[in-house]
Amino acid sequence: MDEKRGQGELLKQFILSQIEQKGPIPFHQFMEGCLYHPQYGYYQSGGLKIGKEGDYYTSSCVHPLFGGMIAKQLLQMAEILGEDPFEIVEMGGGRGFLCQDILDWAKKKAPHFFSRLKYSLVETSPHFLKEQKERLRPYEEEGKVSWMDSVTFERGKAQITGCILSNELVDAFPVHQVIFENGTLKECYVTQRNGQLKEVVGEPSDSRLIPYFESLNIMLQEGQRAEVNLKALDWMERVGRFLEKGFVLTIDYGYLAEELYAPQRRKGTLLCYHRHQTSENPYQHLGEQDMTSHVNFTALIKKGEEGGLGFTGLVTQYRFLLALGVLQEMESLNQEASELDGLKWRLSLLHLIEPEIGMGEVFKVLIQHKGMAKPVLDGLRDLNSIPWPAHSQNFSPPLVGGDEEEGEKS
């Protein structure tokens, strides 16, 4: 038995012991064990998770211009806040690519902004933490990068002026799974039969589950399954406390509530990723596969407003990147690159902004603000107001036509 399979078996035995002690456990406890068990959880164990040799890609490992465009938006945010130091706290920084690309862009393109920056990462995965420290060592030695203990964030022991940033963080929080049966909301639990993990349904384990749907004016259909990310609400509450003045920039895949819980999504959105293959079966490859569910952006907006975070805007990733001038940046890079490198860059950029086959449509950018009137940000502007570079016609027809009003809160 190889090491990974051995760890998977040990994780299974841990879960079975929890069931033996407590009876059937809510799905979110099972998911939390699979992802975050201190020894056997997916994010806590070694091995490459992100990239070609891992289980999935993130936008930050597809193209460095992704981080460059975020840096461009952060620059405008810093200008709005004035001349004081601008703090960035990135939650769940993965392999450190996004931080590196933001700082690389700022150092090269906006040295005054770079001089104001203080960048902190909050990371709970020992594997990712090690890689971050190796990748970002030059910036750490420069005094630009540091690591913040998660307890400091969770207990609100400090407050910042700047931006709290996350990229594909919220989708990996453990979720409750529910199903609407016989006219009532039931919760999915994990139990065992003859040593094998099985699913059963029971009464909701958390008193917030039924009001969750009522507050969103959502009625599930008979037999419809859905995910409820209560951890995301707890996280957003802490974010609101932690940010004294500035912005929250959340990038993830998901929908507003009305679309997320639409009748056509009868099975919910939980997906597992193992070696770039997707599956809807969370009970295989324990500790060896990622588990995610689509983010409910309506819930994040509403919870943020309760904690003093104003709604600035919500747009698709492709709109955000195009509005910040990613095509213009690419055209500039192409002039300096070889023909082969230029082609590779264009193909990877297409993956970030193409709404039909890439990451551009399902990924959203949510921006919230605190301590100021609602700001006007370049990443949220109307695409039709942007001058397009001469060689962008291959991109523009599917991207600019029919520009929907996603900045409106539902």
Distance, in Å, from the CA atom of 75 to the CA atom of 225, rounded to the nearest integer, reads 42
Q: Is the pLDDT of residue 321 over 60?
A: yes
Beta-bridge mates of residue 163 = 88, 247
- Higher-pLDDT residue of 340 and 265 is 265
CB 375 within 8 A of CB 369: yes
pLDDT one-digit tens code per residue, 33-64: 999 999 899 988 765 544 444 444 455 545 68
User: Side chain identity at 178, as an amino acid letter?
Assistant: V
Average pLDDT over residues 175-196: 96
Q: Is the pLDDT of residue 114 over 60?
A: yes
Helix or strand run (H / E) with residue 187: strand 184-193
- Higher-pLDDT residue of 1 and 379 is 379
Distance, in Å, from the CA atom of 342 to the CA atom of 348, rounded to the nearest integer, reads 10
Beta carbons within 8 Å of 96's beta carbon, 6+ residues apart? 121, 128, 131, 132, 135, 136
Beta-bridge mates of residue 287 = none
pLDDT one-digit tens code per residue, 148-176: 988 888 887 679 999 999 999 999 999 99
Average pLDDT over residues 218-241: 97
Question: How would you classify the pairing of strands 160-167 and 196-202?
Answer: unpaired
Question: How would you classify the pairing of strands 117-122 and 145-147?
Answer: parallel
CA 335 to chain CA centroid, Å, is 33
Q: How confident is the model at residue 410 (pLDDT cuts 50, 70, 90)?
A: very low
Instruction: Give all domains of the chain, ordered by start, each with its CATH number.
Output: 1-383 (3.40.50.12710)
Distance, in Å, from the CA atom of 146 to the CA atom of 117, rounded to the nearest integer, reads 12
Q: How confident is the model at residue 339 (pLDDT cuts 50, 70, 90)?
A: low
Check residue 33 and give its pLDDT: 95
Check residue 377 and give its pLDDT: 98
**SS3 state at 89:** strand
Lowest-pLDDT range of 102-111, 304-313, 384-393:
384-393
Q: Is the pLDDT of residue 222 over 90?
A: yes
Check residue 51 and give its pLDDT: 45
pLDDT one-digit tens code per residue, 12-31: 999 999 999 999 999 999 99
**Prediction pTM value:** 0.87
